[in-house]
Every structure is written in C-alpha cells, then in structure tokens.
Structure 1
Amino acid sequence: MHINGSINLSEQFHALSNAETGYIHAPLHDLHLNNSQARLLKYIADHPGALQKDAAAYLNRQNATVTNMLKGLETRGLIERKIPRDNERQKQLYLRPAGVELVKAIRAIFTALEQQIEAAVPTADQPQLIAQLQAIAAKINLIP
C-alpha cells in the first residue's frame, strides 16, 4: 500500500514491529522465553504483588492465555502466585529468585534494543517522536 508514492504509515509500523521482534527473538530464545513471557516477567518485576488480571490487561491477552503462561513460568520456578487471605478469587504475582535473575538478562536485551532505537533517532527529535507515537496510539485506541 502506498500513499503519494511512499510506503504508508501502517506498513512502516508493521515493519518496525517485525524488526523489534527479530532483534529480541534470538536472545530471548536463548533464555527459553518468548516475547510475551519476557514482558510478563518484566511486568511482575516492576509490579510485585500485581493481580493476574492486571498482567493480562498489560499484555492485552485473554486471562486464560495468561494463566497458561503463568503456569509454565511457575513450573520453571520463576514466579509464584499467592492467594491473598481477603480474596481467594484473586492471585498476586511475585518473582522467585530464579525469576529475579532472569529478569536481569531480559532487561539487558530490552536495554540493548532501546539503545539501538535511540541511536537511530537524533536525541533532539526523541521527545517529539514519543509524543507523536502516543498520539497515534491514543487515536486508534491502543492505549486508554
């Protein structure tokens, strides 16, 4: 799809998303993780005690899908799900020591990606680009 003889914006976003996925795929694969699992572990690290439903909302995934992801991470000894005494229907998420160590490696991968992106965009242009991307996301209802 072309507009005015150039690739349109949605195609550029698609290409950028594919490039991001490709950049982090191999290092995450070496950690026996996919992108969603890595982002879920980072979320739990940043929000200890978060509810499972909040993690599902963050990942924009069905609760059942996230439940399966969490079961796998729990089996690997990376996380634990605790049921609070005051609400047996909710499960709070915490990293186990192995998960804490793995998140360090995950953060290094995403930091390297961020450095690559920052190197591609002049520092002075970054705030404007971020604002434009946020406006686009809000306009097409990607963020509340």
Structure 2
Amino acid sequence: MLTFFGMAHPIMFDDADPLLVRLRALALAYPDAAEKISHGHPAFFTTKVFAYYGGSVKVDGVYQQHEHSLIVLTDPGERAALLEDARCYIPAYLGASGWIGLDLARDTDWDEVDELLDASYRLTAGPRRVARLASRRHFHSQ
C-alpha cells in the first residue's frame, strides 16, 4: 500500500489488466508523459495529471467503483455532448472540476480514447509540450 498524507490507499487495479495495458501504451506515447499511482489508481501526467485509470461515482450516498474507466479533463464546450454517451459519467471528486469518465469495458473505440487523451493532454501539458505533440503528430501523419 502507498501512503499519502498519512492515509493508506490500497492498489485498486491489476497491472496485467488488458484495458490498462492498452491505455498505458497510448498515454505514455505523449511527450514527457509518465505514470504514477494516485489514490490507488494509475495516473498519467506531465507536470499535471491528464488521465486516470479507474474511478468512482456516488449513487445515493454510496461510492461505486468504475474499475475499467478512463478519467480525462474535457473542454467545457464538449462536456455536455460527451455525457450524452451512455458510457460516460461524472466521476466522484474530479467531476466538479470538468473531468469525465468513460467506461472502457463497454464497446471501446480506441481511436476515440486517444482523442480524449489528446484533448486532456492539451489542456494540462503546457504550450511547449503541446507544440511538440503537434509536430510529432504531423510527422506521423505524413
């Protein structure tokens, strides 16, 4: 168990989970991206976190785990449209700050997952990293 400010957080994921393995490959392909464990879940970050794997929702006062979810920061203008998708939800704790969850265990479109990662990365990574991302994507599309 990891300790964070005196509170123990159990590991809440399986490192061999095939959905996590695929998400990890996508997330760590972004410039300067790294992974850490935050509150028992994998978190992908540069200076700031741009994605989490796993989350929860509060239903009738009880937290329900969404073990196989991608949690990303979204553009406020796109949030409502994303939440119309039955696979998306407002995650506990982070939802109030503009984050959404996507259930990866339900009809996962990995191109869509990469688009969500890209958008969240662009909102958190800073202009120099985003410029590197733009040149990397342009190079790969040729």
Whether TM-score is above 0.5 comes out as no
Higher strand share: 2
Higher-Rg structure is 1
Q: What TM-score do the two structures reach when normalised by structure 1?
A: 0.30
